[in-house]
Amino acid sequence: MRIGFIGLGQMGFPMFGNLSKTQTNLAGFDGSPEHNEKLRQQAKHLKLNIAASLHELQGSDVIITMLPHGKAVRSSLFDSASNQPLVDTLAKNAMVVDMSSSSPLDTIALANDLKQRGINLIDAPVSGSVPKAKAATLSIMVGGDDDIIEPIKPLFQAMGSTIIRTGKTGSAHGMKAINNYVYAAGLLAASEAMLLGKALDLNLDTLIDVLNASSGRNVATETKLKQHMLEGGDFKAGFGLHLMAKDLNIAYGLNQHAGFVPPQLALCHALWQEARQELPPTSDNTEIYRFLEKKLHTTD
């Protein structure tokens, strides 16, 4: 099976590295020329196959994408500055596996366009941040037909430890957006808890211990607060704030189909969009804490 992997960022590069341990006919590519070249230099020592251009992924049986959003997935397949678009050069009965956190609506539209070319699309977004991507212990949600998914299951097993079938194409991206809303709401609540604790002169380290030993714990209290967000923290957990805001946009947009707007999702969505507008584009999602702190002090 010839595999092309597009998008070698914070998540994609370690996922590609783990896939390389089990697949011999695999090439990776990133759309940022500087980043791709840097990885090509690194890859020489790591024995990874990084393509010099998208062109080298022609003829692939499987294209895996790990990109910021569904629009980038579409453009990586259909746009081309000089050569034929990648989509027109793939092997017969090829498939595209979109592991990005894309909008389910973009995914369904893309699946229809690919189907006309005899290409199947599987949505397979992941949960778990950079450490889990490195350890190949991601949770992978997979949408699409069983007979198409079965032959590529070993690819998922090389990158993750929990694989959950979600239903038809688009369902995995829908569930991923809902999951990320719940994570974002948990991180917001954890940030507010820290700000309350600080204002009341409580010991924040102990407050986090209390949350983690009690019903208030969540993935943010367990893996973000002490690790990245306490006084002097690096605020670099490996997940861009702009990506979190994008995921909330997707979750919020689901109201058009659900027929109602969940009130807490509306509040959460508005706060993260405000943070995205105000903070530098490279900010990590944990910066929501310092954003909130600043916002509270300026509205005193």
What are the residues binding ligand NAD (CB under 6 A)? Answer: 6-12, 30-32, 35, 66-69, 72, 75-76, 100-101, 126-127, 129-130, 238-240, 243, 247
> What is the full DSSP assignment across 130-194?
HHHHHHT-EEEEEES-HHHHGGGHHHHHHHEEEEEEEESTTHHHHHHHHHHHHHHHHHHHHHHHH
Closer by beta carbon to ligand NAD, 202 or else 236? 236
Handedness of CA 200, 206, 212, 213 (dihedral sign): negative
With vertex at residue 37, the alpha carbon angle to CA 32 and CA 38, rounded to the nearest 5 degrees, is: 100
> What is the full DSSP assignment across 80-112?
-SSS--GGGGSPTT-EEEE-S---HHHHHHHHH
What's the closest the beta carbon of residue 183 comes to ligand NAD, in angstroms? 10
What's the closest the beta carbon of residue 73 comes to ligand NAD, in angstroms? 8
Closer by beta carbon to ligand NAD, 135 or else 196? 135
Closer by beta carbon to ligand NAD, 90 or else 207? 90
Closer by beta carbon to ligand NAD, 144 or else 240? 240
Closer by beta carbon to ligand NAD, 207 or else 220? 220
Task: Characterize the bridge pairing of strands 3-6 and 26-29.
Answer: parallel
What's the closest the beta carbon of residue 143 comes to ligand NAD, in angstroms? 15
Closer by beta carbon to ligand NAD, 68 or else 233? 68
Closer by beta carbon to ligand NAD, 30 or else 106? 30
Closer by beta carbon to ligand NAD, 60 or else 76? 76
What's the closest the beta carbon of residue 12 comes to ligand NAD, in angstroms? 5
* Residue sitting closest to ligand NAD (CB): 9
Tell me which amino acid residue 229 is: M
What is the token pair recorded at 28? 């990776």
Per DSSP, what are the bridge partners of residue 123?
98, 143
Distances (CA, A) of 188 to 69, 194, 205, 214: 23, 10, 18, 18
What is the token pair recorded at 199? 């204002």
Are the beta carbons of 266 and 252 closer than 8 angstroms? yes
Round to whole Å and give the CA distance between 221 and 289: 12
What's the closest the beta carbon of residue 197 comes to ligand NAD, in angstroms? 26
What's the closest the beta carbon of residue 270 comes to ligand NAD, in angstroms? 20
What's the closest the beta carbon of residue 288 comes to ligand NAD, in angstroms? 14
CA nearest neighbour of 243 among 210, 200, 288, 206: 288
What's the closest the beta carbon of residue 284 comes to ligand NAD, in angstroms? 9
